[in-house]
Structure 1
């Protein structure tokens, strides 16, 4: 079971759209001391040397969108400032030391705003930011790896795809989840084989994120998804059938039709649900499956469901499809379905 400090999501651990949060929790009371009059440029230099008071003052100026603070960060040539910013976002500490976090720095917006500093043109030098994030991907602390993967996805540099692909093998599910999310955001077609490989052993949360990443990648993922519909794993087939439907590529129609007779009832019904959105393209492949396959109880269920939805949508098909649907709903469906489907296949 995850401890409160290891849970990378705020309030609802089932909501995979939440962003990673620092590992150390702030105290309940506000401890914000006076801001002082030290210029942001000096605060940036002091923060890079590990001074936590200077760090929080600089970050407060950043949250207030003071241009001097952003310039102070962008003009800094000290990698330590960038490393400590990532550490604060991920762990809530600064330069490896505990941080009594002032109230304005505790919000999700504060972390989002600080992440923006790593974006090209929004804060620090791009190469410095990228170097710090790539080092973060090698950190022994999984919160650092998790947050680095998340920010790399926001930046979207295709040169970082191999690093994120490697992170799909991370020992910590939260890091794998963020890697999958970033690869999807980057529409990294090169990651499709590894995403599918990771899916085989993924838990529910990582599996759901991999599904979303494959949908975001879209067309380039379709051939591999079609191939995985023959996987021995019903879990994998279910996600692949669902992704093919969400991508809505016509190449998927024949394999979705064949999946109406999948040995797993859940996969068969997911195929039925996804098939109907392809409209008339579905009719002939579905009839061909009914003609060539042994009519199992749930092929009768899923096939009749698809055809019934089609003739409700396309009234002109009703005289052709209604007799077949009626046949499939009889106790004798095993005898009459294939023959009736063959008669209707000429429509």
Structure 2
């Protein structure tokens, strides 16, 4: 059988092709059929009509795009998503010429689901929401991806549900989509998913949390005391990237976290705050029992501060030297107190 609807033979070579051999790069002629008729026939599953319609869309024919928008039939949108995800049309093989099989073609066709770019928003979201629960992972993955591109906050529950999908690629798309939607209500779900995430998914969740920005800070602060060092590490790292002043006490406390990797991430995160973190770090050296880890992490932060601002070096270098002395447990709080008073007097 051929991979298109029956068409009159226009090519002698094509007509000699065995009936059961796929026509890999051959295509039916485009013809003069109005795009509105092609859209209706494509919705019914006619692959020949679908080929002509897709050709018109990729050729930037306004009538072809308009016909997709005008057709009141969810089947066309469903078949289109199926083609993007699986390369089939209405569940049947659909082999097209190279240009229509490219990544660019799939990206262009996804645009038809976006507001103002093709089909009505209500139809697009209805079809995509249904496809997010399709039995085929590729359909779910593409539906979630496009919902993220649309960015409608009302899709947040569907995207959160997809964080628990059985397929890794769907979970990754859900985490990415939630960042695009920008609903801070998703933060608790993202952090729950992070607990059992592998490195790839964990990295995507981190990027999403940073993209959400300040609205994610309260939840990140709450989770920064988690019993899981993996969670604390990601929270501290995200708080450093977001650089919200509310996170300073959390990051300063984490300088002496029980997990060495969390403590070092706190030091690197605090360095992003510049002089904002100076007084809180000196206060923790005054009020907290000194430990070898606190010596390392606090030294890193103070050294970074005076490297960035040479005026601070005369005040901070003695504190660092005291932390590396034999009697550092006694000397450090005293040196930090002197530095804090001297900085106040100097207006720094």
Runs of 4+ in structure 1 displaced over 6 angstroms?
none
Q: Secondary structure at the match of 2:273?
A: helix
Using the TM superposition, give the Cα deviation of residue 179 of structure 1 relative to its aligned residue in structure 2, in angstroms.
1.2
Using the TM superposition, give the Cα deviation of residue 310 of structure 1 relative to its aligned residue in structure 2, in angstroms.
0.7
Q: Secondary structure at the match of 1:345?
A: helix
Partner of 1:286: 281
Q: Distance in 1 between matches of 2:338 and 2:222?
A: 31
Structure 1 unmatched ranges of 5 or more = 1-26
Q: State whether structure 2 residue 75 is matched by structure 1 residue 103.
A: no
Using the TM superposition, give the Cα deviation of residue 60 of structure 1 relative to its aligned residue in structure 2, in angstroms.
1.6
Structure 2 unmatched ranges of 5 or more = 1-21, 344-348
Using the TM superposition, give the Cα deviation of residue 28 of structure 1 relative to its aligned residue in structure 2, in angstroms.
12
Q: Secondary structure at the match of 1:38?
A: coil
1:249-288 to structure 2, matched below 5 A, reads: 249-288=244-283
Q: State whether structure 2 residue 325 is matched by structure 1 residue 330.
A: yes
Cα distance per residue 1:214-253 (max 9 Å; x no partner):
1111111101111111111111111111111111111111
- TM-score when scaled to structure 1? 0.88
Partner of 1:149: 144
Residues 1:344 and 1:128: Cα distance change in structure 2 (over 3 Å): same
Q: Secondary structure at the match of 2:25?
A: coil
1:299-338 to structure 2, matched below 5 A, reads: 299-338=294-333
Greater RCO, CA 8 A, separation 6+: 1
Higher Rg of the two aligned structures:
2
Using the TM superposition, give the Cα deviation of residue 67 of structure 1 relative to its aligned residue in structure 2, in angstroms.
0.4
Q: Secondary structure at the match of 2:331?
A: helix
Give yes or no for contact 2:285–2:336 (8 Å, CA) kept in 1.
yes
Give yes or no for contact 1:56–1:102 (8 Å, CA) kept in 2.
no
Partner of 1:167: 162
Q: Distance in 1 between matches of 2:290 and 2:317?
A: 18
Cα distance per residue 1:136-157 (max 9 Å; x no partner):
0111112111111111111111
Count of paired positions: 321
Partner of 2:129: 134
Cα distance per residue 1:317-343 (max 9 Å; x no partner):
212111011122335434432332233
- TM-score when scaled to structure 2? 0.87
Q: Distance in 1 between matches of 2:290 and 2:25?
A: 68
Residue 79 of structure 1, aligned match among 67, 74, 80: 74
Give yes or no for contact 1:60–1:104 (8 Å, CA) kept in 2.
no
Q: Secondary structure at the match of 2:89?
A: coil
Residues 1:276 and 1:107: Cα distance change in structure 2 (over 3 Å): same
Using the TM superposition, give the Cα deviation of residue 38 of structure 1 relative to its aligned residue in structure 2, in angstroms.
2.4
Give yes or no for contact 2:113–2:124 (8 Å, CA) kept in 1.
yes
Q: Distance in 2 between matches of 1:44 and 1:187?
A: 35
Q: Distance in 2 between matches of 1:231 and 1:174?
A: 27
Give yes or no for contact 1:44–1:81 (8 Å, CA) kept in 2.
yes
Residues 1:332 and 1:127: Cα distance change in structure 2 (over 3 Å): same
The structure with more helix, counted as a fraction of residues:
2
Partner of 2:15: none
Q: Distance in 1 between matches of 2:116 and 2:87?
A: 25
Q: Distance in 2 between matches of 1:79 and 1:331?
A: 76
Cα distance per residue 1:12-64 (max 9 Å; x no partner):
xxxxxxxxxxxxxxx99633443233222222111111112221221121111
Using the TM superposition, give the Cα deviation of residue 289 of structure 1 relative to its aligned residue in structure 2, in angstroms.
2.0
1:57-76 to structure 2, matched below 5 A, reads: 57-76=52-71
Cα distance per residue 1:294-324 (max 9 Å; x no partner):
3332321111111011112222221211101
Q: Say what the alpha-carbon RMSD is for the aligned residues.
A: 1.8
Residue 50 of structure 1, aligned match among 45, 51, 62: 45
